[in-house]
Structure 1
Amino acid sequence: MDSALTTVGLPVALAIIMFGLGLGLTPDDFRRIGKHPKAVAVALVCQLVVLPAVCFGLVLAFDLSPLLGIGMMLLASSPGGTTANLFSHLFRGDVALNITLTAINSVISIVTLPLITGLAIAYYDRGDEVSMPFVEIVKVFALILVPVGLGMLARRRNPGFAGRMDRPVRAGSAVILAVLIVGILLDQKESVGEYLADVGIVAALFCAISLVVGYVVPRAFGVTAAQSIASSMEIGVHNGTLAIFVAVEVLDSTEISVPAAVYSLLMFFLAGAWGALISSRAGQPAVARTDAT
């Protein structure tokens, strides 16, 4: 998919999304780890250890082709995105915790994303065909961290601007992701039916399991309902734009980006239904939580 959509549009789209994430971050979001270590630790273990293992099990169980299998593992290693924060807000989760997890995961993924994806490439013995050049990985995360830093700086200098831009950036992020999904599916239109048949069920199952694990496991460890909702959305709503960017720009494979595109499409429906269920059962108050408890 060597077009203006990927060479120009995709990097700009990712930068805008990450700038929007930065607008919602403050240094306190990182300091909060010490105040609520259990909620953060349980969520991180689920996202960095449990879910990649679950994803790999699904890839093997459904015998996905190598490139689609690598794409699923790339998706599993991608952190949560701004959409996760939006879902958490809609379903009365602890949004501050959600933002904290997103910030931490975005930094940790500098190591975990290439590590997990590299292991998948090695498992399928596709090192000659697909590679993760270190220089390119550095560029990817520079493209992530620089806009986030600029967003945080903008928030610090002009909180009013950050507040006004919150909704437009969130809405724009959703539109950008939709355009990317459509572009990928059109580019692969000759194989899209086959891809959906091959990876649709796996992507749906992975999303559903991620959402459930992200809520049930923290609750089992005594984490509050609001924090567990935030954890569920963070773990179940991956940064599909980042996964697509790495697949297309770093791994140079549109096929590897297909699982992220399919997942992102299904994710909205599954996360919406799950969020409505757990927020009603948890009996959360009508006003969304905006601070960690």
Structure 2
Amino acid sequence: MGSTSFFVTYMLPGALAFIMFGLGLSLTIADFTRVLRFPKSVLLGLICQILLLPLLGLGICHLFGLSSEFSIGIMILAASPGGVTANLFSHLARGDVALNLTLTAINSVLAAVTLPLIVNFSLIYFSEGEQSIGLQFKKTIEVFFIVLVPVLFGMLGKKYFPKFAGKMDKPVRIFSFLFLLLIIAGALLNEKHRILYSLSQVGIPVLLFNILSLAIGYILPLLAKVKYKEAIAISMEVGIHNGTLAVYVALSLLNSYNFALPAAVYSIFMFITAAIFSLILIKRNKEVVYAD
């Protein structure tokens, strides 16, 4: 991993900060206050994201008897908020993108607190008697700043430089996608034996986690009788994670390549499953009459 120290120390945090800044460029104060318009949907989305996904991750780790390192990696992934790409897939599948923006805004703020809590719990729970100091306070503050500060600057840019924010929206989405591909390609090239091993060990668990995340985010809201477009939005928000943030926590904060492998594997799967799910929803959309 010595050859990747520059990537871990500078490129990864910088890229994540840029992605979060780009996310902020798409947000306004209305995205936070819109919770009054979607109270049930926002609550369901937060329950899925903050409570059910970590429980799902915990269950999958035990079901497949994963190693402590891979288990911690899955829990880091489960604790990561929805990614920028969730809004794009929601738009393609005719989901309620306004709800996506609201969930993304709230989850990004809450993640600054919930992510360190869940990561600390996982490090202690899966240490199996090994010495574990958890995510140190300094690192917790780093998560807070790397997540929130760029978002706040992005929101200020959106407010005071709306034309700039509009021009940056598409490039940031493309950059986010390409950077995830870069992470995956880097893992395949530099650690191909390890990534192949991790695919054999966590490929099925991670794929199952991905599919169940999408399903829970879709089915639970429908059972709660929220609007169909809102159920699509929640599903994409819950099923598409900020893989770059998960990799950042694993590599930059916890200095563990193995912790990052589940997020790298997940990033391979999530675009494929989200695309397939979107196609299914687009076909179903033709049979559904939306009631706004």
Q: What is the TM-score normalised by the length of structure 1? A: 0.94
> Which residue pairs with 1:277 in the alignment?
280
**1:238 is the counterpart of 2:241:** yes
> Which residue pairs with 1:199 in the alignment?
202
**Two-structure CA RMSD over aligned residues (Å):** 1.9
Moved over 6 A (4+): none
> Which residue pairs with 1:16 in the alignment?
18
> Which residue pairs with 2:63 in the alignment?
61
> Which residue pairs with 1:151 in the alignment?
154
Q: CA deviation at 1:72?
A: 0.2
Alignment of 1:130-149 (within 5 A): 131-149=134-152
Q: What SS class does the counterpart of residue 92 from structure 1 fall into?
A: coil
Q: CA deviation at 1:129?
A: 4.9
> Which residue pairs with 1:51 in the alignment?
53
**1:173 is the counterpart of 2:214:** no
Gapped regions of structure 2 (runs ≥ 5): none
Gapped regions of structure 1 (runs ≥ 5): none
> Which residue pairs with 1:185 in the alignment?
188
Q: What SS class does the counterpart of residue 95 from structure 2 fall into?
A: coil
Q: What SS class does the counterpart of residue 3 from structure 1 fall into?
A: helix
Taking only the aligned residue pairs, the percentage that are identical comes to 47
Which amino acid in structure 2 is aligned with residue 204 of structure 1?
L
Which amino acid in structure 2 is aligned with residue 61 of structure 1?
L
Q: CA deviation at 1:130?
A: 6.1
Q: What SS class does the counterpart of residue 262 from structure 2 fall into?
A: helix
> Which residue pairs with 2:263 in the alignment?
260
Q: CA deviation at 1:275?
A: 1.5
Deviations 1:144-192 (A, max 9, x none): 2111111111111121211111111100111111111222333332322
Q: What is the TM-score normalised by the length of structure 2? A: 0.94
Q: CA deviation at 1:111?
A: 2.0
Q: CA deviation at 1:31?
A: 0.3
Contact in 2 for aligned 1:92/1:284 (Cα 8 Å): no
Q: How many positions carry a matched residue from both structures?
A: 289
Contact in 2 for aligned 1:226/1:284 (Cα 8 Å): no
Q: What SS class does the counterpart of residue 27 from structure 2 fall into?
A: coil
Q: What SS class does the counterpart of residue 16 from structure 2 fall into?
A: helix
Contact in 1 for aligned 2:124/2:134 (Cα 8 Å): no
Q: CA deviation at 1:54?
A: 1.2
Contact in 1 for aligned 2:76/2:119 (Cα 8 Å): yes
